[in-house]
Amino acid sequence: MEKINVNVNSEIGELEEVILHSPGPEVENMTPENAERALYSDILNLSVASREYFELKGVLNKVCHTHEIKQLLTETLRNDVSKEALVRNVCAHEQADDELDLLLNMPPEILARQMIEGVVLKRDNLTKFLSNERYSMRPLHNFLFTRDSAITMWNEVLIGKMASKIRERESLIMETIFRDHPSFGVSTINPERVAGGRSAFRNASIEGGDVEIVNEEIILVGSGARTSTEGIDLLTEILRDKKEGIRHIIVQELPRTPESFIHLDMTFTFLDKNACMVYEPLILKKTKYHTIKITIDNGKVTSIREETSLLKALEKCGLELAPINCGGHGDPWIMEREQWHSGANFFAIAPGKVIGYERNEKTLEEMNRNGFEILKAMDVIENKVNIGDYKRAVITIAGSELARGGGGARCMTMPVKRKNVNW
């Protein structure tokens, strides 16, 4: 297999390779009772979600090479050493030693499916017979949000340290793929190993929805329900120890409620070299939530200071961005409603060309006023329009069901290779 040279130096560089996970039975393998434990507020209709996801993947197939996690995992598990290491690691993490022999004896295709869709509990003793659980290893309900469990930072991959135990297997799978798949074999950074059990990082968590690579010097990180301050301290240490010149970490504190603020990319995403999407009440207004800039220079933290806003912090680093408002202007109820449905969560396939949900009409109207042509995903897929004919465009995908899962186009994509941006 041809090697993929991991390279992500921005949020907007022309996309070349991206990892996806099409939603499958794991999305529906939950009940109203355990939906909250699965980090969902509702149960998705898989048939509708799959049709909507077809639009996202169809557009991406037009512009880049897409990789499916299940296929990558199957190919990785054909290596017996990788297979045994992952199975033992997962069973140890999830206290599922009873399933060890069963999983080790599965062929790669079936094992990959079981790792994602869950292993049904075998009721072969009294404790299991009386258990209210259906699975000995629960389904990965959130894996369609591939953004969170692994983060491409320049030419390496940072493995996510998930805030919820129910998502830990996602990170274990992604690390195995990046380390052992014949197309990758890239350098991975595992926060748990870096932390080494130190008490300062006991509560460290960091997820990809909170991490945005701006350029070769600047990285944005959200601090809130999913990425802790300890997680950002750990990231600071990782970048400091590399001693690679100047790096700026701009931290935006996020509300912990409601759940639509789980990640930074639900309030702020890049659209073009000089434009960004913002949820105005948090990003532009004066609030109690801090914006902090940490500067690292050749292995030393040289400053930690508060900034007046995320955009002002970026401006001080030499990057001026014109904000475009999620939900438009004037009506805070519309802003709040569209932010809830991932109205700020756009995914760039090239500078000025992004993907987002069609349901957020006021957001799209605001983008159109700022020079973005509105294109329907199916028109792109069916070759009725050519993305290359437009300087700025937003490709809209259906999102009546996917948005109810709590994420948008950026959440459902994990870029591994982009072209460099000529700033």
- Per residue of the chain (423 residues), what is the pLDDT tens digit? 788 999 999 999 999 999 999 999 998 876 655 545 444 556 788 899 999 999 999 999 999 999 999 999 999 999 999 999 999 999 999 999 999 999 999 999 999 999 999 998 888 889 888 888 888 899 999 999 999 999 999 999 999 999 999 999 999 999 999 999 999 988 899 999 999 989 999 999 999 999 999 999 999 999 999 999 999 999 999 999 988 889 999 999 999 988 889 999 999 999 999 999 999 999 999 999 999 999 999 999 999 999 999 999 999 999 999 999 999 988 999 999 999 999 999 999 999 999 999 999 999 999 999 999 999 999 999 999 999 999 999 999 998 888 888 899 999 999 999 999 998
Q: How many domains does the chain have?
A: 1
Give dist(CA 52, CA 239) in Å, integer. 38
On whether residue 48 sits in a domain, the answer given is yes
On whether residue 7 sits in a domain, the answer given is no
Q: Are 152 and 184 in contact (CB under 8 A)?
A: no
Give dist(CA 318, CA 312) in Å, integer. 10
The whole-number pLDDT of residue 33 equals 58
What DSSP element (H or E) covers 373? strand 373-376
Q: Where are the alpha helices (DSSP H) in 185-273?
A: 191-195, 229-242
**Pairing label, strands 65-68, 15-20:** parallel
The whole-number pLDDT of residue 260 equals 87
Buried/exposed code over 160-172 (b: 16+ C-beta within 10 A; e: otherwise)? bbbbeebbbbbbb
Give dist(CA 49, CA 145) in Å, integer. 13
The whole-number pLDDT of residue 406 equals 84
Number of other CB atoms surrounding residue 16 within 10 Å: 17
Q: Are 76 and 67 in contact (CB under 8 A)?
A: no
Q: Cis ω on the peptide bond leading into residue 108 (within 30° of 0)?
A: no
The whole-number pLDDT of residue 35 equals 47
Task: Please give the residue range of the domain that contains residue 380.
Answer: 15-418
On whether residue 423 sits in a domain, the answer given is no
What tokens were used for 410?
């950026």
Give dist(CA 213, CA 216) in Å, integer. 8
Residue 372's SS3 state is: coil
On whether residue 273 sits in a domain, the answer given is yes
The whole-number pLDDT of residue 38 equals 46
Identity of residue 423: W
Residues 6+ apart with CB under 8 A from 120: 134, 135, 136
What tokens were used for 254?
């996020």
On whether residue 67 sits in a domain, the answer given is yes
Give dist(CA 140, CA 133) in Å, integer. 15
On whether residue 9 sits in a domain, the answer given is no
DSSP tally for the chain: helices H, then strands E:
15, 20
Length of the chain: 423
Buried/exposed code over 223-233 (b: 16+ C-beta within 10 A; e: otherwise)? bbbbbbebbbe
- Which backbone phi and psi does 395 adopt, to 5 degrees? -95, 120
On whether residue 10 sits in a domain, the answer given is no
CA distances from 166 to 60, 120, 127, 140, 250 (A): 29, 16, 22, 8, 28
Residue 367's SS3 state is: helix
CATH number of 302's domain? 3.75.10.10
Give dist(CA 319, CA 12) in Å, integer. 14
On whether residue 369 sits in a domain, the answer given is yes
Residue 375's SS3 state is: strand
The whole-number pLDDT of residue 44 equals 80
CA distances from 339 to 169, 258, 363, 400 (A): 29, 11, 9, 14
